[in-house]
Amino acid sequence: MGDCPGLIVLQPVLHNNIWGGRRLAEFGYELPDGPVGECWGISAHPHGDCVVAAGPYAGMTLSQLWSEHHELFAGAEGDRFPLLVKVLDACDDLSIQVHPDDAYAAEHEGGSLGKHECWYVLDAHSHGQIIVGQRAKSREDFALLVEENRWHDMENLVPIKAGDFFDIKPGTVHAILGGTMILETQQSSDVTYRVYDYERRQADGSLRELHLQQAMDVIDYAATAPVTGEVTAPEVDGITQLMSCEYFDVLRVRVHRDAPVVLPQPHPFMNLSVIEGSGAVETEAGRWQLAKGNHLVAPCGCGDLRLSGEMTLICSYVPTKEG
């Protein structure tokens, strides 16, 4: 079909972070000097707007495509590309933090989206852990634990291993701890409220800002903290649905040389990130070679994605609204 749109290959944006390392080079990225914690692989956020690497839209940003060629995302609503996909290398612990929901962010953060996110664990220490959830039952309980510096009484530690998955809803206190690499799928938001940052100092000697009042506003004190991130959903023809919420569905796709995968793409768009191995993806518009660290957007109307090789991908899309 001659008018079938091709896949959109993006150039990742890399960010220096106080807690970052150098392991993102394992994904084929050229790292800037210093500790690098984040690769924004699929992003139209103003803090890291990915550029199209090749094809008819080469040199345009993803936000430009959203506004100037919205036919590529036909059926997707909103005034901005809604999702953001990152790879994170936590050489050191991230701050203990929490994110707001849409309503709080819109009111207090200049119209920003909230930040519902999820983590697929790519690698972790043999005794790796993360913080997901906290034990305070009220704002007053939380404030007292903070005042008394009783972080270990507050935080909910969960053991992790590669292949685990966590749904981090707005209002969930969390922290990725050192020695962990994850792929994060989230709403396109960069609003973070730091609760604790270990008293560590930045290069200029200053402490990073904390946001305790905002954090206590948005924490969900009634939330049940998880005890494991083990994936129990079935794998069907290489595809596992990791989660579904109002903002995104997330899939893990495993492709083997003797078991290629046909991935339907009936959505306004689908994000694809290769987290392991290499192979190819073919549509009616052509064939693209894929390798670990590649990030692509499959636009509306591109048809089924025929995946071959030996690789694992994390894919995401915005669910269709009923009615």
* pLDDT tens, N- to C-terminus, the chain (323 residues): 347 899 999 999 999 999 999 999 999 999 999 999 999 999 999 999 999 999 999 999 999 999 999 999 999 999 999 999 999 999 999 999 999 999 999 999 999 999 999 999 999 999 999 999 999 999 999 999 999 999 999 999 999 999 999 999 999 999 999 999 999 999 999 999 999 999 999 889 999 999 999 999 999 999 999 999 999 999 999 999 999 999 999 999 999 999 999 999 999 999 999 999 999 999 999 999 999 999 999 999 999 999 999 999 999 999 987 54
pLDDT score at 308:
98
For residues 205 and 2, what is the distance between their CA atoms, to the nearest angstrom?
Answer: 58
Task: Please state which architecture CATH assigns to domain 8-218.
Answer: Sandwich (2.60)
User: Which residues, in sequence order, are bridge partners of residue 255?
Assistant: 311
- DSSP label of 170: T
Helix (H) or strand (E) holding 14: strand 13-21
Instruction: Output the furthest CA–CA distance in the chain (Å, rounded).
Output: 66
Domain boundaries, the chain: 8-218, 235-317
- DSSP label of 201: B
pLDDT score at 323:
42
Cα 94-95-100 angle, rounded to 5 deg: 115
Q: Do domains 8-218 and 235-317 have the same CATH topology?
A: yes
pLDDT score at 265:
97
What topology is assigned to 235-317 in CATH? Jelly Rolls (2.60.120)
- The residues that are catalytic are 194
Beta-sheet strands, E only, within 145-190:
155-159, 165-168, 174-176, 180-187
Type of residue numbered 208: R
pLDDT score at 203:
86
For residues 272 and 274, what is the distance between their CA atoms, to the nearest angstrom?
Answer: 7
pLDDT score at 91:
97
For residues 107 and 190, what is the distance between their CA atoms, to the nearest angstrom?
Answer: 15
Residue corresponding to tokens 């929490």: 98
For residues 293 and 2, what is the distance between their CA atoms, to the nearest angstrom?
Answer: 29
Among 320, 321, 323, residue whose Cα is nearest residue 270: 320
Q: Which whole-number Å values give the CA distances from 100 to 109, 161, 214, 250, 266, in the listed order?
A: 10, 27, 9, 21, 31
pLDDT score at 3:
75
Asked if residues 171 and 220 have their Cβ atoms less than 8 Å apart, the reply is: yes
Residues 6+ apart with CB under 8 A from 124: 160, 161, 162, 164, 179, 180, 181
pLDDT score at 224:
94
pTM, two decimals, is 0.96
Take residue 110 and report the two structure tokens written for it: 């200049």
